[in-house]
Amino acid sequence: MLVSTVALVISAPLLACVALAVKFSSPGPILFRQQRLGAGGSEFYLLKFRTMYDSVGRPGLGLTARGDRRITRIGAMLRKSKLDELPQLFNVLRGEMTLVGPRPDLPRYMDSLQDSRKQVLLLTPGVTGPDSLQYHDEESLLASVPPGQLEQFYVTELLPRKVALDLEYARQASMLGDLHISLRTFLAILPRTSKNSN
């Protein structure tokens, strides 16, 4: 919570610039709120900068592949640089998330997990984690899957792999390990952020 507070103060100008860019890029709210599962299976609203057209929806589809026509031009830049995730620092302040941990997912996807893998719900979800690093370009991976098979692929193939990484992380979690994951996340994002700004 202390780190997220400092990060919010330092990144306040950036947050303001991104908020203005989202506001003027297309009609709709600046923030996107979506229900996710947290520690103990409790539900909370994950915060992100809105990256999609507010009036365009695909009912029942909670996944986004590269090239999705619902994504705005500004939204594509934010998603690639991961700047759309910055509002989750407020989730950390509210105690719903931590900086490093499993990425929180939609309730209907988590319900599909086998009992042994549902142990991941005992962990506090994080802004970044081992699965975020392993699948940092998840949208490109999903783009290779036929649209009609997208959710089946995610539930039966991708989600179990991500949860396995999270459970392995939990078995050997440490402060040093969390710092390492945070540094790797920053280094992974930095080149994409610099590229988008050019």
Alpha helices in the chain (DSSP H): 2-10, 12-25, 73-81, 88-93, 107-110, 130-134, 138-143, 150-153, 159-171, 175-197
pLDDT of residue 49: 97
With CA atoms as reference, report the closest residue to 79 among 149, 146, 18, 165. Answer: 18
Q: What is the CA radius of gyration of the chain?
A: 16
Which residues are 128's β-sheet partners? 100
pLDDT at position 198: 53
| Amino acid symbol at 157 | E
Global pTM reads: 0.88
Q: Are strands 126-128 and 98-100 parallel, antiparallel or unpaired?
A: parallel
The pLDDT tens digits along the chain (198 residues) read 888 999 999 999 999 999 999 999 999 999 999 999 999 999 999 999 999 998 654 444 688 998 888 999 999 999 988 999 999 999 999 999 999 999 999 999 999 998 889 999 999 999 999 999 999 889 999 999 998 899 999 999 999 999 999 999 999 989 999 999 989 888 877 655 555 555
Whole-number Å distance between alpha carbons of 96 and 143? 30
DSSP annotation of 31 reads: E
3-state secondary structure of 37: strand
Dist. CA 113–CA 136, nearest whole Å: 22
Predicted local distance difference test score (pLDDT) of residue 196: 58
Location of structure tokens 């802004």: 127
State residue 114's pLDDT score: 84
Burial of residue 133 (number of CB atoms within 10 Å: 0-12, 13-18, 19+) = middle
DSSP 108-149: HHHTTS-GGGGGGGGSPPEEE-HHHHHTTTHHHHHHTS-GGG
